[in-house]
Structure 1
């Protein structure tokens, strides 16, 4: 598969009051993640089109909670050095046939496609090369950026947070920035402060910034 212009739409809280919806939907392909909502009240902010939606192991069992309007749904293979585990994880999950939200999206089969484990491994190696800790898993967000670089002529990023959020918190600038544009259970700066959980967000940011500096991808407006 190959595309011209691609939009990779992150879940950062700065998209909460954005007006990128029409611009995002105008791309040849749109990549989104996990359970990030589209359309409806979020139409103006993030649009409604989805060409690919990447799921991690935690969110894939709840994939029917999002609109059934994607062309493909990709199964995010858990980062593991054993290829067999990745394959077993993929084949154990059946194709979705309906949406649990009546009237939200058309009921139709949604095939699961497994992301190539080699691509995931390469993304992890790239993160490690930028100071990432080996025990941290690659996020679906970084994987989506790498996937877009592999199949798109141009890549635009929306809603990807950065380390400036943590620094700005001290001045109150980002104190009200939600972790996700659709919910505010935690502040975005928490992703860059203290323990990072499963992911190394600081290393991920260094990788993304490397792509930007190299001219491979571009950030759009105030969507950081």
Structure 2
């Protein structure tokens, strides 16, 4: 189920390397640099050194095109990630870090994976430029992206701290938007956690009995934060969660997100892309504060895909749009930052009994499967993690 890794070194801001095997396929992938000129004879792409510390430390490498690859390219540094040392220490007896028994998960899990973006040198840019977004900067222009990266404040970590006067455990609930929550009456149980994560169209008003009313961390993209209120207005949505002191976490899924970030950090209207002239800070209900704003690192996003959710659809012609859902990234963010995690509103084995979203209370709708996500792979993973006691998955039956 999980992709295991080799030996790791413990050092400050270290890089580790492991095998590149698909987690759900018994056949091992070869780890080599893809020759893009075979699938696109017109592409003039040079070979890059396999040791990424020498991947052009002075200037940006030539831009790679997704069209040059018929499926996900496998570089020999595919499973190399930045890590921060040391990982958060915990005395919580129930902590995942202290009670992990699933050997497969234990080998795949990196407790100190780099979670958030900050500054970046040219070597890092060139390494990450081999990966498609949101896992890297393939097809992106260095100056366009760095315009926002250079503005990013140093993340204030850890993301969450134990509540004072408790047993020092950080207990978290991650609340998805699935219809299984409709009529669940899980609101009080959700709000009883130390912290509550939500994502996307997290409509709360009118649904508190089922989904709770607290939000500590809201995970989003530029697209989800701009479209959620508009698309869900008929269900009572007026704003994304904006609790006092809330922390916002952005998934940089495309160039439009870096345009968004530049406008946000400069507090100026966006000058390019689909949100041109928008004022991004106005979408956070008056709670935007750069000391409580985080941008997920490409290494973390790729780690989640490679080690836990490596879909077989990455071998298809549309491989470049295939990625875990925002909900999946949020679950793993919680697993990295909390001692215990409970997941509500995620797909379960009996998902066909429920509407697509919990806000759809009057008409039974069908779950929509979009091509860019492997929902069945995610459903199976949540059940496996639940059965292994790595998280607690809310299931109606």
The answer, yes or no, to whether TM exceeds 0.5 is: yes
After superposition, the C-alpha distances for 1:14-66 in whole angstroms (9 at most, x for unaligned) are 1121211111111111110112111x311111111111111134213347722
Aligned runs of 1:81-100 on 2, under 5 Å? 88=258, 91-94=261-264, 97-98=281-282
Q: Distance in 2 between matches of 1:210 and 1:44?
A: 28
Aligned runs of 1:20-35 on 2, under 5 Å? 20-35=186-201
Q: Of the candidates 197, 207, 214, which is equivalent to residue 42 of structure 1?
A: 207
Q: 1:138 maps to which residue?
A: 324
Q: Distance in 1 between matches of 2:302 and 2:283?
A: 32
Q: Distance in 2 between matches of 1:99 and 1:56?
A: 12
Q: 2:302 maps to which residue?
A: 121
Pair 1:214-2:391 in alignment: no
Q: Please, which runs of 5 or more residues in structure 2 have no aligned partner? A: 1-157, 163-169, 230-238, 266-279
Q: 1:161 maps to which residue?
A: 347
SS at match of 1:32: strand
SS at match of 2:356: strand
Q: 2:218 maps to which residue?
A: 53
SS at match of 1:138: coil
> How high is the TM-score relative to the length of structure 1?
0.75
SS at match of 1:197: coil
Q: Distance in 1 between matches of 2:249 and 2:377?
A: 24
Q: Distance in 2 between matches of 1:34 and 1:158?
A: 14
Q: Distance in 1 between matches of 2:223 and 2:364?
A: 18
Q: Distance in 2 between matches of 1:125 and 1:162?
A: 22
Q: What is the aligned-residue RMSD (CA, Å)?
A: 2.8
Q: Distance in 2 between matches of 1:20 and 1:155?
A: 15
Per the alignment, do residues 68 and 179 of structure 1 end up closer, same or farther by CA in structure 2, a change over 3 Å counting?
Answer: same
Q: 2:250 maps to which residue?
A: 75
How many residue pairs were aligned? Answer: 198
After superposition, the C-alpha distances for 1:176-209 in whole angstroms (9 at most, x for unaligned) are x210111378834443xxxx32211011112222
Q: Rg bigger for which structure?
A: 2
Bigger relative CO (Cα 8 Å, ≥ 6 apart): 1
Per the alignment, do residues 190 and 93 of structure 1 end up closer, same or farther by CA in structure 2, a change over 3 Å counting?
Answer: same
Per the alignment, do residues 75 and 33 of structure 1 end up closer, same or farther by CA in structure 2, a change over 3 Å counting?
Answer: same
Pair 1:178-2:355 in alignment: yes
Per the alignment, do residues 128 and 35 of structure 1 end up closer, same or farther by CA in structure 2, a change over 3 Å counting?
Answer: closer
Q: Distance in 2 between matches of 1:220 and 1:186?
A: 20
SS at match of 2:301: helix
Q: Of the candidates 5, 9, 20, which is equivalent to residue 175 of structure 2?
A: 9
Q: CA deviation at 1:165?
A: 2.6
Q: Distance in 1 between matches of 2:357 and 2:202?
A: 8
After superposition, the C-alpha distances for 1:117-141 in whole angstroms (9 at most, x for unaligned) are 2111111113444x54222111111
Q: Please, which runs of 5 or more residues in structure 1 have no aligned partner? A: 167-173
